[in-house]
């Protein structure tokens, strides 16, 4: 009995954690858990631009699955947890490039497929931004149109994949000319969710505007109709109005070169007539000539892991050796926004490398209208917990 009492008396008393220590431990556990969830399973994103309207709207809050395609290992391990590029509310970088690691992708339960809505790192450096490491580049969201090896051809706004028509997404938008005898205002267009957005990070997007013609005899302008960016379903409703005289798609003509189009240095393409173009696949070999350099030269220079590349419109040197053919070391994808005339996508900057893929958009869990007609319409209740399709 005495021995038991002595053992009890000699046992050190466990000190109770202080209030600050308990808070620190709780916060540390929450940060570690949240970081692991974001990396391995699911990450939240918000839609800042209308490039995916009307499938996804500005102000939609998404969950993006890392499980579908498999999570990437970190290229830049020295990062402040739960940040991206900058520390919250500052211009201070949230990372250090002192250590850069090779990236690998953990096993997923599927691959990127035609029609998937995908979040990825925007491949080229954005104007005015540093050339961030791959895992810290700006996040974009688009629909995957072409997977590795696909042949893409866009003819008069219709997309063909390997010669077969790819169905236009149900909520995709494009431009129409609506000829009318009535004067329409913002309230009318808002009734059909056609709203001009002047708050987008990419600048103003005009979804409707009046079109006028100049009359030489009266020296005045007269209304002839409206340029409207909307869905085919809304246009079908417009056709029922007796004051609508006609509705025509507004599109670029074949053979007209659009400034800034990807590959335009060798091909007379535009956003509505593009291709045919083959999406690079790992192991695919191409000849080197001015036409292939215009399409694939940037990939060889930036994304293939080549250390020294000298690129001209007519030739490519890798490690000071002139090459006549090239074999790709990774897969690539062709992405387009559902808002076909208001989307900065693969038609303008090219292909998305496989190591830039972040995850698959699966669920809209909240949606907030950035410019509601009234305070009570701030939350878009009909979009809550909506699956992304």
**Is residue 86 flagged as an active site residue?**
no
DSSP 91: S
Query: Count of H helices and E strands in the chain?
Result: 6, 21
Distance (Å, whole) CA 137 – CA 381? 32
Residue 140, preceding bond cis, omega within 30 degrees? no
Q: 196 Cβ partners below 8 Å, 6+ apart?
A: 186, 204, 205, 206, 207, 208, 209
Distance (Å, whole) CA 292 – CA 324? 11
**Is residue 55 flagged as an active site residue?**
no
Distance (Å, whole) CA 337 – CA 159? 12
Distance (Å, whole) CA 328 – CA 318? 13
Task: From the candidates 55, 65, 137, 142, give the one annotated as an active-site residue.
Answer: 142
Q: How many CB atoms lie within 10 A of CB 144?
A: 23
Long-range contacts of 32-41 (CB under 8 A, 24+ apart): 32/81, 34/81, 34/82, 35/81, 35/82, 38/66, 38/82, 39/66, 39/71, 39/74, 40/66, 40/67, 40/71, 40/106, 41/65, 41/66, 41/67, 41/71
Distance (Å, whole) CA 21 – CA 26? 9
Q: Can you read off the two tokens belonging to residue 292?
A: 């292939």
Buried b (16+ CB within 10 A) or exposed e, 355-374: bbbbbbbbebeebebeeeee
Distance (Å, whole) CA 173 – CA 207? 10
Task: From the candidates 51, 94, 343, 367, give the one annotated as an active-site residue.
Answer: 51
Active site residues: 51, 142
């Amino acid at each position: 009995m005495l021995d038991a009492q002595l053992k009890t008396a000699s046992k050190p008393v466990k000190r109770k954690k202080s209030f600050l220590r308990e808070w620190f431990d709780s916060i540390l556990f929450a940060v570690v858990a949240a970081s692991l969830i974001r990396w391995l399973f699911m990450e939240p994103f918000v839609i800042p631009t209308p490039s995916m309207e009307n499938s996804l709207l500005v102000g939609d809050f998404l969950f993006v699955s890392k499980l579908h395609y498999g999570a990437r290992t970190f290229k830049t391990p020295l990062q402040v947890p739960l940040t991206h590029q900058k520390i919250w509310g500052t211009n201070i970088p949230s990372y250090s490039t002192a250590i850069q690691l090779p990236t690998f992708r953990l096993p997923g339960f599927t691959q990127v497929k035609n029609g998937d809505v995908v979040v990825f790192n925007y491949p080229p450096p954005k104007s005015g931004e540093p050339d961030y490491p791959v895992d810290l580049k700006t996040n974009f969201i688009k629909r995957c149109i072409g997977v590795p090896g696909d042949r893409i051809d866009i003819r008069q706004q219709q997309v063909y994949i390997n010669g077969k028509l790819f169905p236009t997404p149900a909520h995709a938008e494009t431009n129409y000319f609506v000829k009318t005898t009535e004067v329409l205002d913002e309230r009318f267009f808002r009734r059909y969710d056609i709203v001009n957005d002047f708050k987008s990070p990419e600048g103003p997007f005009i979804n409707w505007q009046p079109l006028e013609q100049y009359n030489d005899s009266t020296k005045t302008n007269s209304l002839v109709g409206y340029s409207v960016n909307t869905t085919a379903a809304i246009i079908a409703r417009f056709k029922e109005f007796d004051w609508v005289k006609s509705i025509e798609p507004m599109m670029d003509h074949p053979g007209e070169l659009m400034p800034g189009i990807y590959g335009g240095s060798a091909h007379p393409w535009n956003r509505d007539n593009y291709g045919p173009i083959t999406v690079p696949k790992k192991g695919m070999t191409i000849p080197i000539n001015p036409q292939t350099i215009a399409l694939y030269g940037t990939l060889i220079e930036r994304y293939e892991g080549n250390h020294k590349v000298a690129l001209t419109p007519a030739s490519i040197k890798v490690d000071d050796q002139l090459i006549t053919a090239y074999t790709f070391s990774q897969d690539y994808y062709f992405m387009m926004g559902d808002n076909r005339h208001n989307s900065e996508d693969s038609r303008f900057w090219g292909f998305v490398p496989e190591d830039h893929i972040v995850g698959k958009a699966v669920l809209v869990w909240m949606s907030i209208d950035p410019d509601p007609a009234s305070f009570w319409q701030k939350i878009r209740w009909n979009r809550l917990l909506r699956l992304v399709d």
